């Protein structure tokens, strides 16, 4: 594995470029994934290629981390193939939320097929676990934010790419903003979080899909809406 570069942001923070994986067939059909290990579809591979080309122009990336689920890992490996010099560092704590008994079901059928699990999945309670081994939002929050803090400590003052999932990105937003994100997390959207040495999290960009707008590749969100709530085209 290549050693981290000598680059420093010359600021008392670490910059984390957090991106969601590309589209899967289950995203396209509205099937709930959770920990189910679904690979990218052709649209997702095109999205990942567009994202990779964009990130190849971002200076001094020191490392690339990814969830170990196929859809995130393939997106990360596409970035590495374009940017070069890295190996993907897999972190299971970057996985999507385990969604218990609703995993594998279509959104439109989940309420009828598994009403108890669906109610738990839809609950606003952050301590609500999902029947079938599913996690609560608080459990997801703890492992996702702990993962980012470990990455930050290992790459202080550096710029790092993290490839993960919609639920994880929502948890990171909650940590940075002390509230839940209500919009869609689009496939391969770019979200930039800066973490200071005293553990202050600041969002510098959110929901940036400029690379998809330029190529015309289709996109889908975590849920129904296909319109990002915030677009900050910071990266060129």
Residues of the chain with pLDDT under 50: 1-9, 218-236
124 is in an annotated binding site: yes
Is 68 within a domain?
yes
pLDDT, tens digit, for every residue of 66-119?
A: 999 999 999 999 999 999 878 999 999 999 999 999 999 999 999 999 999 999
Is 4 within a domain?
no
In angstroms, what CA-CA distances link 17 with 62, 119, 135?
A: 11, 33, 25
Token couple for 158: 């550096």
Name the active-site residue from 96, 98, 211, 217.
96
- CA 175 to mean position of chain CA atoms: 14
Predicted confidence at residue 85, as pLDDT, reads 79
DSSP 172-186: HHHHHHSS---S---
Look up the domain containing 193 and give its range. Answer: 13-96+155-215
Is 7 within a domain?
no
Predicted confidence at residue 226, as pLDDT, reads 33
Token couple for 165: 């999932």
Total number of domains in the chain:
1
Predicted confidence at residue 12, as pLDDT, reads 78
Predicted confidence at residue 59, as pLDDT, reads 92
Burial class (CB in 10 A: 0-12, 13-18, 19+), 130: buried
DSSP H or E segment with residue 79: helix 70-83
Is 140 within a domain?
no
Name the active-site residue from 15, 21, 135, 165.
21
Is 210 within a domain?
yes
Q: How many CB atoms lie within 10 A of CB 146?
A: 11
75 is in an annotated binding site: no
125 is in an annotated binding site: yes
Q: 96 an active-site residue? A: yes
Q: 211 an active-site residue? A: no
Is 139 within a domain?
no
Predicted confidence at residue 154, as pLDDT, reads 96
The pTM score is: 0.87
* Residue in the block written with tokens 């470990």: 150
CATH of residue 71: 3.40.50.1240
Sheet containing strand 159-164, strands side by side: 89-90, 61-66, 159-164, 13-20, 190-196, 201-208
Is 115 within a domain?
no
164 is in an annotated binding site: no
Predicted confidence at residue 215, as pLDDT, reads 61
Predicted confidence at residue 229, as pLDDT, reads 38
């Amino acid at each position: 594995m290549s050693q981290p570069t000598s680059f420093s942001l010359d600021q008392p923070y670490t910059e984390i470029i957090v991106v969601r994986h590309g589209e899967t067939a289950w995203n396209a059909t509205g099937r709930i994934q959770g920990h189910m290990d679904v690979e990218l579809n052709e649209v997702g591979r095109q999205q990942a290629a567009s994202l990779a080309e964009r990130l190849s122009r971002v200076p001094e990336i020191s490392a690339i981390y990814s969830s170990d689920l196929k859809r995130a890992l393939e997106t990360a490996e596409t970035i590495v193939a374009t940017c070069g010099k890295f190996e993907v560092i897999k972190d299971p704590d970057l996985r999507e939320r385990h969604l218990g008994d609703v995993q594998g079901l279509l959104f439109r059928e989940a309420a009828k097929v598994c009403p108890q699990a669906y109610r738990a999945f839809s609950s606003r309670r952050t301590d609500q676990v999902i029947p079938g081994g599913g996690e609560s939002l608080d459990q997801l929050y703890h492992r996702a934010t702990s993962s980012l803090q470990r990455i930050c400590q290992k790459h202080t003052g550096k710029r790092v790419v993290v490839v993960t999932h919609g639920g994880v990105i929502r948890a990171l937003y909650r940590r940075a903003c002390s509230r839940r994100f209500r919009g869609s997390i689009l496939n391969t959207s770019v979200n930039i979080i800066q973490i200071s040495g005293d553990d202050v999290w600041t969002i510098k960009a959110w929901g940036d899909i400029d690379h998809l707008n330029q190529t015309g590749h289709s996109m889908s969100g975590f849920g129904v809406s296909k319109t990002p709530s915030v677009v900050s085209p910071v990266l060129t």
